[in-house]
């Protein structure tokens, strides 16, 4: 199966059946996960109870879950917007590193600005760098027909290593760790709940999701982006500029991905740290796929993944089960979603019975 087919299969319809497939995939993955836990000699019920408690058992646990949800919402949205235009953005990881670094750099270099304006400027600095980094592969695709998958993958390496160089040499803070200085207090995203890592990044994430929904379904620009994604030939004969929309969709996608890095750096670490992301950009692909490239689906899926990962922290401590299990469950979910035919055939058999 080609990339185009997968994308086409995913973005074509938002029928109820699609939602079923997502839910069914989650359920199936959890059951297999339970079976794996059982195989290694632990209790699946205990494991899942502990995970649920770890993710939602208290206010601070919920805060932890939401903290882990924030970057996934952004990268999920980023991949979804590109998908809607028929593009596969594998470059979210590099884009979020760029965004993170330049938002921190902006915060450090423009610290003379009045407090109320520093934070928005820092966020904007991050978004713009991400838009440029995401826009380049879009522009190359539009102008020269280079494959955006190849270019974004390569630009991940370039982006991550550029920021790594910058934080190891010119902008390194005193001491052992490859990190920048702490940003001024005015540039820190305020904490929503004290003594947790949950920051106002959550609000930014929800606003971004609403903005994406509004853009894609309530504006002409969004209509054009989706038209190009659905069928470029028809779109072109309808007078839509394909090249412009491809570049634009990738730039928006890059800007959204950048926000994942921006909110982590300005909200959690309060500085840029070399290699801080555990692969949010790649998990974002899974989030978009499972969330059916819809902002609401992305939020719900990011929340599910955030809860799984936060729950895993507790499971890791309390039980004998490694938190790597969660990665297995996430992988299985994606496998089932990406191979919808399996689920469809099961559903079909169920209907015929």
Partner 1 sequence: MRLKKIMLFSLVVFFVFSLTVSIGAAEDKFGLILATGGLGDQSFNDLTYQGMGRAQEELGITFDYVEPKEIADYETYQRDLAKSGEYGLIVTVGFDQASALEKIATEYPDQKFAIIDMVVDKPNVASYVSKEHQGSFLVGALAGLMEKQNSNPKLNDDQVIGIVGGMDIPLIRKFVAGYEAGAKYVNPELEVLVDYVGGWSDPTTAKEIAMAMNRRGADIVYHAAGGSGLGVFQAAENEDFLAIGVNSNQNHIKPNYIIASMVKKVDVATYDSVKSVLNDSFEPGVHNLGIKDGGIDYTRENSEVEVEEEIIEQVEDLKEKIKSGEIEVPDTIEAVESFLN
- Least gap, CB of 346 to partner 1 (angstroms): 8
- Least gap, CB of 331 to partner 1 (angstroms): 15
**Token code pair at residue 316:** 């890791």
Q: Does 152 bind partner 1 (CB under 8 A)?
A: no
Q: Does 317 bind partner 1 (CB under 8 A)?
A: yes
Stretch that binds partner 1, among 76-84, 129-137, 231-239, 269-277 (CB under 8 A): 269-277
Q: Does 158 bind partner 1 (CB under 8 A)?
A: no
Q: Does 112 bind partner 1 (CB under 8 A)?
A: no
Q: Does 276 bind partner 1 (CB under 8 A)?
A: yes
Q: Does 17 bind partner 1 (CB under 8 A)?
A: no
What's the CA gap between 49 and 58, in Å, rounded?
14
Q: Which residues pair with 307 in a beta bridge?
A: none
* Residue closer to partner 1, measured from CB, 118 or 273: 273
Q: Does 178 bind partner 1 (CB under 8 A)?
A: yes
What's the CA gap between 307 and 48, in Å, rounded?
11
Among 8, 19, 42, 221, interactor with partner 1 by CB under 8 A? 42
Q: Does 97 bind partner 1 (CB under 8 A)?
A: no
Q: Does 166 bind partner 1 (CB under 8 A)?
A: no
What's the CA gap between 51 and 59, in Å, rounded?
15
Q: Does 93 bind partner 1 (CB under 8 A)?
A: no
Among 15, 20, 23, 45, interactor with partner 1 by CB under 8 A? 45
Q: Does 38 bind partner 1 (CB under 8 A)?
A: yes
Q: Does 139 bind partner 1 (CB under 8 A)?
A: no
C-alpha separations of 275 from 97, 161, 179, 278, 350 in Å: 8, 9, 10, 8, 47
Contacts 24+ apart (CB under 8 A), 160-167: 160/93, 160/94, 160/97, 160/275, 162/98, 163/97, 163/98, 163/100, 163/101, 163/272, 163/274, 164/274, 164/275, 166/101, 167/101, 167/272, 167/273, 167/274
At 179, phi and psi to the nearest 5?
A: -150, 160
* Residue closer to partner 1, measured from CB, 40 or 117: 40
Return the biggest CA–CA distance within the chain.
70
DSSP sequence for 78-126: HHHHHHHTT----THHHHHHHHHHHHHHHHHHTTTS-HHHHHHHHHHHH
Stretch that binds partner 1, among 86-94, 169-177, 251-259, 295-303 (CB under 8 A): 169-177
- Least gap, CB of 47 to partner 1 (angstroms): 9
Q: Which is it for the CA torsion 278, 281, 283, 287, positive or negative?
A: positive
C-alpha separations of 5 from 120, 286, 301 in Å: 40, 17, 23
What's the CA gap between 72 and 165, in Å, rounded?
25
What's the CA gap between 166 and 154, in Å, rounded?
19
- Least gap, CB of 71 to partner 1 (angstroms): 9
Stretch that binds partner 1, among 40-48, 76-84, 139-147, 221-229 (CB under 8 A): 40-48
Among 217, 278, 345, 348, interactor with partner 1 by CB under 8 A? 278
Q: Does 277 bind partner 1 (CB under 8 A)?
A: yes
Q: Does 59 bind partner 1 (CB under 8 A)?
A: no
Interface residues with partner 1 (CB under 8 A) are: 27, 31, 34-35, 38, 42-46, 48-49, 60, 64, 67, 164, 168-169, 176-178, 195, 197, 264, 268-269, 273, 276-278, 309-310, 313-314, 316-318, 322-323, 346, 349-350, 353
């Amino acid at each position: 199966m080609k990339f185009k087919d997968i994308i086409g299969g995913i973005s074509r319809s938002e029928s109820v059946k699609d939602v079923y497939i997502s839910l069914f995939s989650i359920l199936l993955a959890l059951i297999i996960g339970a079976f794996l836990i059982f195989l290694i000699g632990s209790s699946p019920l205990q494991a899942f109870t502990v995970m649920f408690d770890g993710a939602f058992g208290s206010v601070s646990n919920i805060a932890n879950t939401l903290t882990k949800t924030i970057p996934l919402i952004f990268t999920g949205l980023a991949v979804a917007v590109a998908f809607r235009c028929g593009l596969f953005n594998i470059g979210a990881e590099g884009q979020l590193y760029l965004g993170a670094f330049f938002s921190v750099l902006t915060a450090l270099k423009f610290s003379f600005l009045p407090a109320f304006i520093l934070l928005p400027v820092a966020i904007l600095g991050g978004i713009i760098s991400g838009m440029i980094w995401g826009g380049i592969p879009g522009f190359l695709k539009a102008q020269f027909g280079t494959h955006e998958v190849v270019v974004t993958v390569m630009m991940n390496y370039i982006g991550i290593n550029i920021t790594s160089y910058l934080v190891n040499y010119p902008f390194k803070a005193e001491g052992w760790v490859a990190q920048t200085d702490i940003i001024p207090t005015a540039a820190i995203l305020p904490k929503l709940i004290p003594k947790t890592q949950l920051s106002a990044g959550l609000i930014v994430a929800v606003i971004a999701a609403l903005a994406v929904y509004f853009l894609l379904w309530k504006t002409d620009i969004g209509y054009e982006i989706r038209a190009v994604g659905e069928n470029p030939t028809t779109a072109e004969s309808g007078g839509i500029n394909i090249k412009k929309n491809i570049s634009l969709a990738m730039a928006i996608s890059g800007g959204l991905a950048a926000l994942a890095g921006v909110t982590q750096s300005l909200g959690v670490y309060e500085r840029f740290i070399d290699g801080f992301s555990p692969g949010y950009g790649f998990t974002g692909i899974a989030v978009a796929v499972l969330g059916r490239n819809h902002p609401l689906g992305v939020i719900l899926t990011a929340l599910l993944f955030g809860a799984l990962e936060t729950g895993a922290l507790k499971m890791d401590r309390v039980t004998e089960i490694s938190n790597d299990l969660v990665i297995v469950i996430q992988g299985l979910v994606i496998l089932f979603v990406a191979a919808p035919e399996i689920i469809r055939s099961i559903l079909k058999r169920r209907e015929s019975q």
